[in-house]
Structure 1
Amino acid sequence: MKKMMIVSLALALFIFVFLYYFPQQTYLTFSSQRSDEVFLQKPVEIGDEVEVSWIHSLEHTPWIETFRIDEEDQLILSETRFKSYGAGTPEDTDGTLTVEDGFMIISDLHEPFEAYNWFHSYDVDYTITINDRTTIESTALPNQTPMKMKVTREVPLLSSFFRKKG
Structure 2
Amino acid sequence: MRLRPVGLVGVAALLILAAVALLWPRPWLVVRHDGVIRAAFAGGEGARFALRWTHSVEKEAWIEAFVVRDGAIELVSTRFKTFGAGVPAAAGRRTTLEDGWVVMHDIHRIVDPLAVQAAAAEDYSLRHDGHWHALSTPGKKPILVIENRRLPLYRVLPALIARCSG
Structure-1-length-normalised TM-score:
0.71
| Cα displacement string for residues 28-79 of structure 1 (whole angstroms, at most 9, x for unaligned residues) | 11113xx32322222223212101001111111110000011232x111111
Distance of 1:77 and 1:118 partners within structure 2:
13
The more displaced of 141-150 and 98-107 is 141-150
Going from structure 1 to structure 2, the CA distance change for 1:152 and 1:56 (only over 3 Å counts) comes to same
Does structure 1 residue 125 correspond to structure 2 residue 123?
yes
Going from structure 1 to structure 2, the CA distance change for 1:128 and 1:157 (only over 3 Å counts) comes to closer
Instruction: Give the equivalent residue in structure 2 for 1:115.
Output: 113
Distance of 1:62 and 1:109 partners within structure 2:
19
Distance of 1:38 and 1:76 partners within structure 2:
21
Query: Among 103, 126, 144, which residue is 2:141 paired with?
Result: 144
Distance of 1:155 and 1:82 partners within structure 2:
37
The gaps in structure 2 that reach 5 residues or longer are: 1-19, 158-166
Cα drift, residue 80 of structure 1: 0.2
Does structure 1 residue 47 correspond to structure 2 residue 36?
no
Cα drift, residue 158 of structure 1: 6.7
Going from structure 1 to structure 2, the CA distance change for 1:157 and 1:119 (only over 3 Å counts) comes to closer
| Kept in 1: contact 2:73–2:112 (CA 8 A) | yes
The gaps in structure 1 that reach 5 residues or longer are: 1-18, 161-166
Cα drift, residue 139 of structure 1: 4.9
In the alignment of these two chains, the number of paired residues is 136
| Kept in 1: contact 2:92–2:107 (CA 8 A) | yes
SS in 2 for 1:97: strand
| Matches for 1:17-166 after TM superposition, within 5 Å | 23-32=24-33, 35-72=34-71, 74-132=72-130, 134-139=131-136, 143-157=140-154
The more displaced of 60-69 and 85-94 is 85-94
Q: Percent identity?
A: 21
Cα drift, residue 95 of structure 1: 2.3
